[in-house]
Amino acid sequence: EAQVTQNPRYLITVTGKKLTVTCSQNMNHEYMSWYRQDPGLGLRQIYYSMNVEVTDKGDVPEGYKVSRKEKRNFPLILESPSPNQTSLYFCASRWVSSYNSPLHFGNGTRLTVT
Amino acid sequence: GQQLNQSPQSMFIQEGEDVSMNCTSSSIFNTWLWYKQEPGEGPVLLIALYKAGELTSNGRLTAQFGITRKDSFLNISASIPSDVGIYFCAGPQRGAQKLVFGQGTRLTINP
């Protein structure tokens, strides 16, 4: 089954403790992206990657890092999480050949930073 | 960057009613997408619109790409309980590999 898999689904952590949210897709998509969803703000892009070793900032990249060492994986790293990073996070992927191709989303990771 | 404004932000309706929501932008978009997010899941694409004036249906859902290319509309006819969720409009930014989303319309249905 074609899917985008995020782990963990839920995470509660404390300020300053480094964490990684993993994302993996099995559709051989070149493009992958991370979004955060906050009430009243919709989904805002954090980082995206056009292909292996190619990453770029989205609208809200501060406090986050990503890496794309393999095509299927795109982990999101919070080196020193803060309470304002409490949010619902989504990973997504699509073909890069056309920017009109639809995004496929994972089921989300709900992060709470205390 | 470009922003999409969705309205209404929330809707509370009775089962069987029709639903209308819209999305506007201050800039032109060449593609409009409508996604639905159900509780505990990621957004799923419902309808994609690629041409100004286009009207596209997906079952009881109908979406239109505004003539000015600055707006889009989504209608749901004869709502049923499984229509509950958050509906997002989205559009790709020209020249950028980014999909911009509206704030979402949360639909609640009373049986």
pLDDT digits (tens, 9 = 90+) for A4-37: 999 999 999 999 999 999 999 999 999 999 999 9
Which residues in chain A are contacts of B88 at CB distance < 8 A?
42-43
**Furthest-apart CA pair in chain A: how many Å?**
41
The DSSP 8-state label assigned to residue B93 in this structure reads: P
A91 min Cα distance to partner chain B (Å): 9
Which carries the bigger pLDDT value, residue B9 or residue A1?
B9
Contact B99 A45 (CB under 8 A): yes
Residue B82 has pLDDT above 90, yes or no: yes
Label residue B63 exposed, middle or buried (CB < 10 Å: 0-12, 13-18, 19+): buried
- Assign B70 a pLDDT band (cuts: 50, 70, 90): very high
pLDDT of residue A19: 97
Amino acid A66 reads V
Burial of residue B19, with CB atoms counted within 10 A of its CB: 0-12 exposed, 13-18 middle, 19 or more buried: buried
Predicted confidence (pLDDT) at residue B96 exceeds the cutoff of 60: no
Check residue B93 and give its pLDDT: 78
